[in-house]
Amino acid sequence: MGGLRLRYLILDLDDTLYPRRSGLMDLISMRIGQYMTERLGLSPDHAEALRREYYARYGTTMRGLMEEYRIDPEDYLAYVHDVPLDAYLQPNPALDQMLSRIPLTKVIFTNASEEHARRVLERLGVASHFPIILDVRRLEYSNKPDPEAYRRILRHLNAQGPECIFVDDSTRNLRPARALGMITILVDGDSEEDEEVFSVPDILAIEPLIQRLLSERNGDLRD
């Protein structure tokens, strides 16, 4: 760890700050399929096969479509995130209060767009806690789990890995963060491997863990 103090809490957005059971990501997934059939003229079966291939090879469908079909990423991002958030998400006062008690600079790291992130944060009632949103555009279209995306995060923050806690709902997205020295926390995910990763059932459960880590690394710091 090198004795570095914790400075940043980096959080994934979708299916991390809100429960996956909300169904929002299912709707976005449907919109991705529609984009491929409507914009590119692919059959639903072909679109689904490509999505699986691109997820494995590129990390996201968008990156695969950029590489293979030269799509306009801005058109894609606008299309797939054109969803009625009010029907899927509700304000979360408990999340708002928890974030206020964690004395770290809070950062969103998302493969989505900043516009989508801001809408989600506003709907959850927690936007004021996030002075920094690092979306796929600001990362020059690098995306999780590409290690370069994580290196760009650290450059944006002028930080070293051990100064950061990273929270995500996917073990695959946590591995590159851990390789850079970040503390990693899996939310509502399936950790099938014996990995050096903390695991919690939901976003609110990160608080006691983070407070313990702060006590261990930063002493009795309170901002």
Q: How far is CA 204 from the centre of its chain?
A: 16
pLDDT of residue 42 exceeding 50: yes
pLDDT of residue 71 exceeding 50: yes
Average pLDDT over residues 152-157: 98
Band of residue 2 on the pLDDT scale cut at 50, 70, 90: very low
Instruction: Give tens-digit pLDDT for 97-120.
Output: 999 999 999 999 999 999 999 999
Residues 6 or more apart whose CB falls under 8 angstroms from that of 80 comprise: 28, 31, 32, 35, 62
Q: Which domains does the chain have, with CATH numbers?
A: 8-20+90-218 (3.40.50.1000), 24-80 (1.10.150.450)
Q: What is the pLDDT of residue 93?
A: 98
Instruction: Identify whether the C-beta of residue 132 lies closer than 8 Å to the C-beta of residue 149.
Output: no
User: CA angle 222-127-80, nearest 5°?
Assistant: 140
Q: Give the integer Cα–Cα distance in Å for 207 and 106.
A: 13
pLDDT of residue 195 exceeding 80: no
Instruction: Give tens-digit pLDDT for 202-214.
Output: 999 999 999 999 9
Q: Give the integer Cα–Cα distance in Å for 136 and 38.
A: 23
Q: What is the pLDDT of residue 158?
A: 98
Other beta carbons within 10 Å of 110: 23
pTM score: 0.94
Q: What is the pLDDT of residue 192?
A: 60
